Structure formats: C-alpha cells, structure tokens
Amino acid sequence: MTAMKIEQAWNNALAGVALWARTNSPWVLHFNTGSCNGCDIELLAALTPRYDAERLGVKLQASPRQADILICTGPVTRQARDRLLRIYEQMPEPRFVIALGSCALSCGVFHDCYNVVGPLDRFIPVDVYVPGCPPRPEAIIYGVIELLKKLHPVDVILEGGSA
Ligand code: SF4
C-alpha cells in the first residue's frame, strides 16, 4: 500500500467516525432571530424530558463553535441580521440549519413589518424547513430526524472512496 493510499484510508476512517458521532449526537444551537417566543417554547418542550430529544442524542449547545445544527425561530429582524451571520460564520464546517416556524420560513404574521428584513433563507442556507405557527415538538423532532437522514450515508463522501 502506498503512502497516499494509507493516508486516504485514514482520512476515510476519520470521516466515518465524525459522521457517526454527528448523526448519533448532533449538538444544536438555538437562535431567536425575531420570534414572538411561541416557537421557542415549543423547541424548549422538544428538548426537555416530556419529549426528550436527548434520547436521539440531540444536545443543546451554547456556543456556535461546538454546534452542528443551528435552529432559528422567527423572521430575521434588522437587529438580529448581523448577529445571525456572525453566529453562522462561527460554526465549524459542516454546519446545518433548520428554519423553525412559519415566520422563519416566510416571515409569517410579521410579513412587511418595518423591522423585518426577510425570511431566514434570504441570509443563510437552510437545510430543513419545519412549518407551523408554532410547530409542535413532534414536528421539530421530525425535522431533526429528516436532517440526520439527509446526512446519512452517502452525503459525506471523500474523494476516492465512501466514508
Ligand atoms: S411562527 Fe407563530 S409562534 Fe413562531 S414566531 Fe411566528 S408567530 Fe410566533
């Protein structure tokens, strides 16, 4: 085996471990970009023991530097836009985004408000959309599972071999 092939096998093994860790225990960061708090309460319910998203390995993370998934609630307001972009840039690659609730998807009831600059996907790429006003905890957990399904197993493929 040449040195290049050994390095490639090593990189594939590392990518496989990283994918396994990410899909078995995704760390999520929550950011309110202008929500009325209805969506935030439902997200809180999804993460606390009644719905217990932690049984799927989902863990709330306070720092963007250690988060895999950014979950945003509400329309993007003028005040939140720069912070949203900064938080997104601070997340390590690969990073994923879930838009939670009608306001994050389309500005919802805040459409055309003086302080609203647009829906979430106008500013950062969104991987999963969870509609509802607000979406129920079951829908939120379903959205996270759909994202994890998208990551597995063929999406993370290194050049020259599968992860
Ligand atoms: S979707 Fe509904 S609950 Fe969520 S932020 Fe908008 S108005 Fe509030």
Average pLDDT, the chain: 90
Higher-confidence position of 97 and 158: 97
Nearest CA to ligand 1 atom 5: 35
Could you tell me the two tokens for 103?
């306001």
Q: 140 falls in which pLDDT band (50, 70, 90)?
A: very high
> What is the Å distance from ligand 1's center to 147 Cα?
21
User: Per-residue DSSP letters for 66-101?
Assistant: G-SEEEEESPEEHHHHHHHHHHHHHSPSS-EEEEES
Cα–Cα–Cα angle for 69, 38, 128, nearest 5°?
Answer: 30
> What is the Å distance from ligand 1's center to 81 Cα?
18
Sign of CA dihedral 86, 34, 42, 96: negative
- Residue 141 near residue 102 (C-beta atoms within 8 A): no
Q: Is the CB of 36 under 6 A from ligand 1?
A: yes
Greatest mean pLDDT among 11-20, 21-30, 127-136 lies in 127-136
Sign of CA dihedral 162, 55, 66, 94: positive
> What is the Å distance from ligand 1's center to 128 Cα?
17
Could you tell me the two tokens for 153?
């197993």
Q: Is the CB of 74 under 6 A from ligand 1?
A: yes
Higher-confidence position of 150 and 160: 150
pLDDT surpassing 70 at residue 46: yes
pLDDT at position 1: 67
pLDDT at position 30: 97
Per-residue pLDDT tens for 92-135? Answer: 988 999 999 999 999 999 999 999 999 999 999 999 999 999 99
pLDDT at position 32: 97
> What is the Å distance from ligand 1's center to 84 Cα?
18
Residue 38 alpha carbon, nearest atom of ligand 1: 3
pLDDT at position 151: 76
pLDDT at position 24: 82
pLDDT at position 153: 56
What's the whole-model pTM score?
Answer: 0.86
pLDDT surpassing 50 at residue 57: yes
In angstroms, the Cα distances linking 58 to 6, 28, 36, 108, 147 are 34, 7, 24, 27, 12
In this structure, CATH architecture of domain 27-162: 3-Layer(aba) Sandwich (3.40)
Q: Is the CB of 134 under 6 A from ligand 1?
A: yes
Give the up-direction half-sphere exposure of residue 99: CA atoms within 13 A in the CB hemisphere.
24
Query: Where do the structural domains in the chain lie, given as residue ranges?
Result: 27-162
